[in-house]
Amino acid sequence: MKHVLLLVALAACNPTLTVQSPQPPGRIARMDPVRTFWGLQRYRLELSRGVAIALTCDLDGPCEHMQVVSDDPAIAEVRPASLGVLQQGGLDGEQTSAALVVVGKAPGATRLHVRSKGKERDVVVTVVAPPEPGALTAAR
């Protein structure tokens, strides 16, 4: 039981991400959490090629010294971002939010690694080709 609680506690102590930009019409920019019995494991992010999405990172407030790496920048490029807003940082008052922008560069799958204070959260990214003109259906 101690091991179970330890695993749950460790999962809860990793960075969490929040979407900060809307999906453009006719394209995909959506991130969903992947949860198991042990809690939040990772995120899955689906992006159309040529589309960008802004995310913020939290770990007891805005992520400190956030580092984000893409396994394959040719598929999904990740860039630091500046939202220019303050957000609550736990019990220590407000801090500038920690943000990143992910850009879908080419169809394929890759993984992002978001690190802060020695903790890590993965984002499984799938970049899809944009629809051909007239190919959209209502089944979305």
Partner 1 sequence: MHQATLVGQCAETDAACSRRHPLAPLAVGARFHPDVSAEIAGTSTPSLRLESAAPDILSVEAGDLVARKAGAAAVLISTDDGSVVDFVHVWVAPVTHITLAKRDGERVSGSLGLAVGEDVTIDPALWSGAQRLSGDEDLTWTVSDDRALAVLRDGSAGRRRLKARAPGHSTITVALGDSKAILDVEVVP
Residues that bind partner 1 (CB under 8 A): 20-21, 24, 26-27, 48-52, 54, 77, 79-85, 101, 103-105, 130, 133
Q: In the complex with partner 1, which residue's Cβ is closer, 40 or 101?
A: 101
| SS3 state at 8 | helix
Q: How far apart are CA 103 and CA 21, in angstroms?
A: 12
Residue 113, C-beta contacts closer than 8 angstroms, at least 6 positions apart: 68, 69, 71, 120, 121, 122
For the bound state, the minimum distance from the C-beta of residue 118 to partner 1, rounded and expressed in Å, comes to 23
For the bound state, the minimum distance from the C-beta of residue 42 to partner 1, rounded and expressed in Å, comes to 23
The DSSP code for 26 is: T
Residue 82, C-beta contacts closer than 8 angstroms, at least 6 positions apart: 99
Q: How far apart are the first and last CA of the chain?
A: 42
Q: How far apart are CA 50 and CA 76, in angstroms?
A: 10
For the bound state, the minimum distance from the C-beta of residue 128 to partner 1, rounded and expressed in Å, comes to 13
For the bound state, the minimum distance from the C-beta of residue 22 to partner 1, rounded and expressed in Å, comes to 10
Q: In the complex with partner 1, which residue's Cβ is closer, 25 or 118?
A: 25
Q: In the complex with partner 1, which residue's Cβ is closer, 118 or 134?
A: 134
Q: In the complex with partner 1, which residue's Cβ is closer, 67 or 82?
A: 82
